[in-house]
Structure 1
């Protein structure tokens, strides 16, 4: 009887990992404090805005187990219903453990080299956060003493902390540039970077890494980033106004043109638009114009925002996720708002200019116009 059970188990294991070829798949063991029932999910992060559910398993007696095979290291977000999750980098032959406790970010243990690097990278932010918390405590004590100068001092210290964190993170990614972790991080941030910035980090990767999914994504993205680099002729696009009229980027003729990407639910975008509107009123007659492309999906939200903000320049949108994704990759839309400033020949003058930048640029660019 015992021999039969062993044989049955071997058959089951062999059948389960058949898709892994000669390697063993991954295992994720989860512990969920005070929960019996519900599901745990492994959500595959495909790119910055796209994901799907790789696995969904039941939680029984406060535990769950995920097993499977991946064709390459696969970043996933491990989560349960109603709780914050954590990233795991699934690899065949690796065992992961994740413990969920109420109100805390779960810690992923085990895994391979990529998982280890992700934990080391996260520690940089945690260390900065600890310093920031101590600063806040100092600030509260200073306020209690009636020290009114502390606010300015803390603002300066906060900026320095942010710069320290960014410097350490950048150096970490350069030091481990030939790793899947650094490459995946690059693939998530590349849209907001220049072609040269991306190329410097991508060149640190070997051919094997460049053949992975994030590597192929970067290879496809690099020419697009080149198309919006300073000095390049920005590609044309055609979209529709709120009343359905087709308008192309190139059809707007002016000396200096702002191309603005935004959304109705972006508070920073809406605030920037009001500042840009003042500059538009001041410089439009001298040759300044703009076109705004909204990545909204719902017409009502877009049109309500336009009505409230009363923006005088051309407004367009496709109200379509797939088209907006193409636009984002073509024009480097990483965070909103994203802007491109071009000249009369649609040649890029600058990327990601804010209203404060325009205050300085427009008088120089339109002088004598």
Structure 2
């Protein structure tokens, strides 16, 4: 390749890369009245904090222009100061026009050229109106508190307050149902009536949006955060339901089917007719090994009195598991799939080890997480 070919190659590559960068460029311009010579800033909004992308001095006609680049829809903040902020939902190549004035910047503005930003404005405007109406009712509550007919008026105000809240919830829910693939729905999910109360409190809308957006924007930090948060909430809800199920009196404990040390399946339900200590442990956990020594004494005393231990390992190393059983002298039923026994751990909501449940002859949970003398006394209570 001669020097001219090399030169053309380098120039061509530079032009190509430049065009690629340009293809993701967006522009935000417009007019801000009464803001001559003020600086306007454009930040990209992250999960924690924001990053300055561009800034410009507003000219004497109130005009400005700032730029950025994004390959997927992302949230940006346009502001004159930290108290006056316009939230934009920007996609690549958009040319966005914003019109506002300095006094009401961030509260009253028009935006064109960006469907996502218009959706954000729609959501924020509706919530602002809702908050204003709720604040008005709260103020009336204070004003009329000393009136003779306050009790009657309060009933009416409470009904009005509840209706406004429900209307906002219905609006946000409908928005999400109609726009599950819009990043604006992320904003809808996290809007609040106040510091402590979210508009959307049901899990299903989060699941819908998280699944939809993860299918098209998995690289978005906002989608990643939403998806992870939703999974945590789903798991927490499931765990709470399972825990409630386990602890309800008169409810049988969920069955467990796992291989023993010889590879033969052993079911927890096969021990009905005996009192059973369901014990979760790990060969590599010091606390579990210490508890094993007390279990040996317990089992020795009660094994011939319709008592059995069903010990579930969360290990993934079979050799370490078998060695621990031999070293600790564990002669009761030991099971584990050497994959963490994940299903049993999830079903019984095990978040720490060692951990146990004491089951009666019908498989009902009668106690949990007993240790030392408390465990001995509880077993003795039923078997002596």
Normalized against structure 1, the TM-score is what?
A: 0.49
> Radius of gyration: which is bigger?
2
Normalized against structure 2, the TM-score is what?
A: 0.47
